[in-house]
Chain A
Amino acid sequence: MRSLNKQMLRMLVGMAVFNGVPAASADVVVVASAASGLSSLTPSQVYDIFLGKSAYLPNGALAMPIDQPETSSERRMFYETYTGKSPAQVKAYWSKLIFTGKGQPPREAKGLSALYRFMSRNAGAIGYMDRSEVDNRVRIVEIME
């Protein structure tokens, strides 16, 4: 059932990309550690944190962005929505920073359990997941202009 959902998500993303419609309406939500007290971010703050342009959360805590696995549809949708970049574009972006010694991409969680663990252990953690997978270890961050 879950893999079927994922396939459908992928199809939807594919269609959205093909039609030039942003995939923003999908149910991938930005999440923070439950302990962080972070309730909202602007789209450009999300952009800057995940592309390494900003090291801090608005409350002054050190931001610790974490990615889903590279092949996950959540990751693809998240970056399409908040950066307008495809996985390959994001990779090209980071290859410039990595190989000039100027930056390191967000950590990557191997799976959901690793993601939950990271979120619950780091107050500055910020990630994204399917809305259906949100539980009390994380809090949904509202994205407001």
Chain B
Amino acid sequence: MAASEPSPVLKKGTRSTSVAILLMLAQAAAFAAPPPDSGDADAPAEPPAFTLRGFGTVGIAHSSESRADFISTDFQKHGTGYTRSWSAEVDSRIGVQMDAALMKNLNGVVQVVSEQQSDGSYRPRVEWANVKYDFTPDLSARVGRFVLSPFMASDNRKVGYSYVWVRPPVEVYTMMPMTRTNGIELLSRSRFGNATNNLEIGFGGGKDNLQQGPIKWNDGWGILDTLDYGKLSFHAAYVRTRLTIHAYDPVFDAYRLFGAAGEAIADKYDVDDKPSSLLTLGASYDPGKWFAMAEWGKIQSDSLLGKRQAWQMTGGFRYGKVTPYLTYSRATVQSSGTADGLPYPQAAALNAALNQFLFAAPEQRTVSLGMRTEVSRNVAFKIQLDRSRVGSSSVGTLVNTQSDFTPGGTYHVISATLDFLF
């Protein structure tokens, strides 16, 4: 049930599969032994033991740019701005997770999330489904569906309660939009004095449905490292995969009809099994009363996605239950934003389409001012104001741009969310 299929019959099938999984989870929880982190806390819980937990966000957002949609991930059909002046669909979601201690040292996790998808539906999807075996407390392997985390909040981006922002900065976190992959991963932890190093090496692939159509990533691998030294943390990652986005195919298929010159353009720009990589660096310092973090990423793809960089810096202070914060984030495109195409009048429409694709690469910078407030146990309220400036030859991170949209402008997004755990 990884991706929605074109057939309505199959769609119906995947929906009932999701419902069945949710029901299974609920039943298992009802019959489950007390979770290992509660109950009488005697000797270690004897497997199998099940724990059911959840997270969610109820949010509303408004964008001042009415000729395009602001979205929080590339997997959403529509957002705020053009489609709706105020939208609850940008940030709202709910997730349920079942943890199972299956045997000694063998744990399973299944997480199902319902949120707006590229077809506009809220069909629950299996985000995580993996088993993890601990060879030692410091060396584990997991197999199944999980996600690598090239940025510091890539893997927990759906859990609003776990971070300070309303949403991770879009300039950085839309660089690698994938939220799940099917594969295998080794996790290793080592200690040097008071420092803890976490090394992850993963292999896998997957598919999903972007706003503009299906995306596939095959033969992916990544090496990720996090070094914690008390309140200081460093993160670095390199991930590489072969990327396919078929939405662009009709244009490149047409180019190929023009012979060698057309083939060359198609081979250079199409996104069909193209090697693509992402390199990231990040650091954070969190002594409690305040915190600061910064991260940077660079993507390189032998396709129209080209070379891009993005970075963000966030800092905040904690006054009791209130945490005001400030974020600056920026995405830039290093590869050329235009292409000459073919010098034939018959190819003019194709050349225009190709340039339209390149134009969609996000150049944008945003200043966000926000505040997180702890409302009660397990509930946080956040408000955030973003002021974004779009590059002069780009649509920024906006989608569903209308013909009267003009690049180079400034727009504001105001958002409020309630993030909760259960």
Contacts and interface: CB of A to CB of B under 8 A. Distances in A.
B5 interface: no
A56 B191 CA distance: 10
Nearest to B101: A104
B287 to A, nearest CB: 6
Contact of B37 (A54, A56, A105, A122): A105
Contact of B40 (A64, A71, A83, A110): A110
Chain A interface size range? 35 or more
B99 A88 contact: no
Interface string B150-172: 00010110110111000000000
Interface string A76-114: 000000011111110111011011111011111110001
A110 B41 contact: yes
B42 A108 contact: no
A44 interface: yes
Interface in A113-134: 114-115, 117-118, 121-122
A45 B155 CA distance: 27
B37 A95 contact: no
A101 B156 CA distance: 10
Given A101-B130, A101-B142, A118 B156 contact: no
A18 B320 contact: yes
B111 A108 contact: no
B95 interface: yes
Interface in A44-68: 44-45, 47-48, 53-56, 62, 64, 66
B112 to A, nearest CB: 12
Given A92-B161, A99-B55, A104 B378 contact: no
B421 interface: yes
Contacts of B156: 95-96, 99-100
A84 B36 contact: no
Nearest to B147: A100
Given A98-B53, A100-B149, A44 B159 contact: no
A26 B55 CA distance: 34
Residue among B107, B142, B196 having the largest count of chain A Cβ atoms under 10 Å: B196
Interface string A18-35: 101000000000000000
Chain B contact residues, majority secondary structure? loop
B180 to A, nearest CB: 11
Contacts of B36: 104, 107
A8 interface: no
Contacts of A66: 41
B196 A101 contact: no
A44 B230 contact: yes
Contacts of B38: 107-108, 110
A95 B41 contact: no
B111 A114 contact: no
Contacts of A142: none
A99 B162 contact: yes
A53 B196 contact: yes
B32 to A, nearest CB: 15
Contacts of B142: 101
Interface in B171-217: 187, 189, 191, 194, 196
Contacts of B163: 92, 96
B159 A95 contact: yes
Nearest to A99: B159
B321 A95 contact: no
Nearest to A87: B377
B42 A117 contact: yes
A66 B40 CA distance: 11
A64 B109 CA distance: 22
Contact of A121 (B42, B53, B153): B42
A106 B388 CA distance: 42
Contacts of A87: 377
Contact of A95 (B138, B162, B191, B288): B162
A106 B37 contact: yes
A55 to B, nearest CB: 4
Given A20-B289, A42-B194, A102-B187, 20 more contacts: A18-B320, A48-B196, A56-B137, A66-B41, A71-B377, A86-B288, A86-B320, A86-B321, A92-B163, A95-B161, A96-B155, A99-B95, A99-B158, A100-B146, A100-B155, A101-B111, A101-B142, A108-B41, A118-B41, A118-B42
Q: Which 3 A-B pairs have the closest CB atoms?
A: A84-B288, A55-B137, A96-B162
9 contacts: A44-B194, A45-B194, A84-B289, A88-B380, A95-B421, A99-B97, A99-B158, A101-B99, A117-B42
